[in-house]
A and B are shown apart, each in its own frame.
Chain A
Amino acid sequence: MGHGGGGALSAELMEQVFAPAYGNPTLAALADSAVLELGGTRLAFSTDGYVVRPLFFPGGSLGDLAVNGTVNDLAMSGARPAYLSAAFVLEEGVQLSVVERIARAMGTAAEAAGVVVATGDTKVVESGHGDGVYVTTAGVGLVPAGVDIRPQRARPGDAVIVSGPIGLHGVAIMSVREGLEFGVEIASDTAPLADLVAAMLAVTPDIHVLRDPTRGGLGASLNEIARASGTGVRLRERAIPVPDAVANACGFLGLDPLYVANEGRLVAFVPPSAADEVLAAMRAHPQGAGATLIGECVAEHPGMVVVSTGLGGTRVLDLPLGEQLPRIC
């Protein structure tokens, strides 16, 4: 299970199994989506499988995730997403009304994100061989001229900006999956981010890195960027927007909110000269209203993320091994 958690074990699987098997420079870039030259245009191309329990949760559903997740993976290359495919794996016995609800949610999410679900596939597996419904989406989008966004482009001095409060999606899922109640309802942050990215690119095409911190959370994403670029990242703990409800839930379970999944947030590495303007443009956009400067890219400690704590100490923020596990007391 740890190999699907978005942490060090996921990275190992990619580096040791998949990359050697398919080996090519595009895949080796290990970005959220691949950028391909085709017929004189630059296409971003991405695919992702969506497996979530329960299928419906506060703030969204499997259908929303399946659209927004792929839209966001494309947007993290700076692309304008255009077309999606959708492949369903249904478990024998699943209610047709459940599939309908998911499909409708996908339709609504696609409309909101400005993409078209242009092709698809359906397979059925025997009862007991699935969690009801799995959805895989793939997508393509156009990358505007002059835009080159990838983890390797992080530079010392870059401002590190997160687009809003973190941890809401992961805690929302935990609250319904495990039957935990945290006093207030916590809704997932799932949302399409391509429009926000377009607003940022309107300020400057020279955004260096974008990443949506999904599985493994902000901690995993920042570690991946630090390793890919060979730079360090320094964060200010008190600047990181962690909602009270997320902090409380994580405190109760012994989890670190920096490793909790998000589905409607991005982290951006922006040249310092453009940071204020990009931040202002993000805050003017509904998906970036809570955008915050949380740290910077540094030349020291290459490949490593370091957090300055509220008290003035420092600690390493490492790549998590796999899924976080709730503690005993």
Chain B
Amino acid sequence: MKYIDEFNDPELARRLLDDIRATVTRPWALMEVCGGQTHSIVRHGIDQLLPEQVELIHGPGCPVCVTPLDVIDKALEIASRPGVIFCSFGDMLRVPGTDRDLFRVKGEGGDVRVVYSPLDALELARRNPDREVVFFAIGFETTAPANAMAVHQARRLGLTNFSLLVSHVRVPPAVEAIMTAPECRVQAFLAAGHVCSVMGMAEYPALAERFRVPLVVTGFEPLDILEGIRRAVRQLERGEHRVENAYARAVREDGNPAAVSMIEEVFEVTDRNWRGIGPIPLSGWRLAEAFRAYDAECRFDVTDIRTEEPAECRAGEVLQGLIKPIECAAFGTTCTPRSPLGATMVSSEGACAAYYLYRRMNDPAAKAMGAAREEMNPVA
């Protein structure tokens, strides 16, 4: 894959790392907001290659991880009902609700289907007029336009058997919540490039100014991430706090106006609960009044949901960057991808999953891994 290989070139990576090493004079804590970036960092071992002074803190940007437990439980309840086809992206299926997950519901006879796009769910609704088709509409600004488009299309086609279970969240209020938390250590942000490719960068200068933090819009390939880190460290060393775009090949200043107008037509801003974090004002979207008929929460009576989080799960602290996954006592013992306590262990963007999959440091082989790393690592 030549195009991607260009962003994974060891020689260019070495130069960026040399530059970071030459720039940094004291410790800095940077947060990558997006779970996709977290996985790229751990998968490629980027955190192992950085100078000690540069600490990466993993942020809350995994949509699967932050979908609140009560919404998961509502999904499980709706998916269990006869006559319902419940559609979801694959990575929601293993996320634990209070007492089961969507895989269990499917195994018990629920019609749960993995789709690749909300438009696939819409097509299912068209072909199954006698069934209720519900799409689990979660995600950040990246998935909202397609979900809005699906609702728009449903109305245009006159479909009355299609609805969304919505739990959309927005990144900028989350950045604000992290920075106002008393225990916050974050000194700069690697902002999620794909979110900005939709929404643009207009919301960020005020945040950079208010909290005096550099915000560098960053992509997902290894060199993208190293370049984002390089620019953030350079600003920190110079005492600057600007918004910079290090992902110009995908992000325009004003984002994608057509996608934004689709979101604004179908959704309205609302307060949202983030799993493990709690309520964040104005941090989500719900269907606007004109589209409320497509709201699965209104269509199915699922208001009487009681939830219970496992007491020993510290996913919330992981999501806020307060601890690393391996600092949780349950990590790799009572909490594994096989029997997860929280969503961060099973989501394909979850920080705990990244550490479990790629960096099981509490494993007896960790020492050997460390030795192997020193031996194999040409740039550290």
A residues adjacent to B (C-beta < 8 A) = 1-2, 8-9, 178, 180, 232, 234, 242, 244, 247-248, 251, 253-254, 298, 300-304, 306, 308-316, 318, 321, 324-329
Flag if B372 contacts A180 (CB, 8 Å): no
- Taken residue by residue from 3 to 31, chain B's Cβ proximity to chain A (1 for < 8 Å, 0 otherwise) reads as 01000111001000000000000000000
C-alpha gap A279/B49 in the complex (Å): 33
Extra pairs beyond A303-B365, A311-B49 (15, CB < 8 Å): A1-B106, A180-B116, A242-B1, A247-B1, A248-B1, A301-B368, A304-B365, A304-B369, A306-B372, A308-B377, A313-B46, A314-B48, A314-B373, A321-B338, A325-B94
- If the complex has contacts A178-B116, A321-B338, are A329 and B45 also in contact, measured as CB distance less than 8 A? no
Flag if A312 contacts B45 (CB, 8 Å): yes
- B156 an interface residue at 8 Å Cβ cutoff? no
Flag if A313 contacts B49 (CB, 8 Å): yes
C-alpha gap A178/B115 in the complex (Å): 8
Flag if A311 contacts B114 (CB, 8 Å): no
A interface majority secondary structure? loop
Flag if B43 contacts A328 (CB, 8 Å): no
A residues in contact with B116, CB < 8 Å = 178, 180, 253, 326
Flag if B89 contacts A328 (CB, 8 Å): yes
Flag if B337 contacts A315 (CB, 8 Å): no
B residues in contact with A300, CB < 8 Å = 365, 368, 371-372
C-alpha gap A308/B10 in the complex (Å): 12
- B209 an interface residue at 8 Å Cβ cutoff? no
Flag if A311 contacts B379 (CB, 8 Å): yes
Partner of A326, one of B36, B48, B91, B373: B91
Flag if B373 contacts A329 (CB, 8 Å): no
B residues in contact with A321, CB < 8 Å = 337-338
- Among B135-143, B290-298, B319-327, the one that faces the other chain is B135-143
Partner of B89, one of A180, A234, A327: A327
Interface residues on B, range: 35 or more
- If the complex has contacts A234-B372, A301-B368, A321-B337, are A311 and B140 also in contact, measured as CB distance less than 8 A? no
C-alpha gap A329/B44 in the complex (Å): 19
Partner of B44, one of A2, A302, A311, A318: A311
Flag if B365 contacts A312 (CB, 8 Å): no
A residues in contact with B91, CB < 8 Å = 254, 325-328
A-B CB contact pairs (8 Å), 16 listed: A9-B338, A244-B1, A247-B1, A253-B116, A302-B365, A309-B45, A310-B8, A311-B13, A312-B10, A312-B378, A315-B44, A321-B337, A324-B90, A326-B116, A329-B63, A329-B142
- Taken residue by residue from 199 to 237, chain B's Cβ proximity to chain A (1 for < 8 Å, 0 otherwise) reads as 000000000000000000000001000000000000000
Flag if B379 contacts A312 (CB, 8 Å): yes
C-alpha gap A304/B364 in the complex (Å): 11
Flag if A8 contacts B338 (CB, 8 Å): yes
C-alpha gap A262/B208 in the complex (Å): 48
C-alpha gap A326/B64 in the complex (Å): 12
C-alpha gap A311/B5 in the complex (Å): 11
User: CB within 8 Å of A: which of B124-157?
Assistant: 138-140, 142-143
- B357 an interface residue at 8 Å Cβ cutoff? yes
Flag if B368 contacts A329 (CB, 8 Å): no
Distance between B239 CB and nearest chain A CB, rounded to angstroms: 30
A residues in contact with B373, CB < 8 Å = 313-314
Closest 6 CB pairs between A and B?
A313-B45, A325-B90, A315-B358, A247-B1, A301-B365, A300-B368
A residues in contact with B48, CB < 8 Å = 313-314
Flag if B357 contacts A318 (CB, 8 Å): yes
Distance between A228 CB and nearest chain B CB, rounded to angstroms: 16
Flag if B42 contacts A315 (CB, 8 Å): yes
C-alpha gap A316/B138 in the complex (Å): 30
B123 and chain A: residue at smallest CB distance: A179
- B249 an interface residue at 8 Å Cβ cutoff? no
C-alpha gap A302/B363 in the complex (Å): 11
- B252 an interface residue at 8 Å Cβ cutoff? no
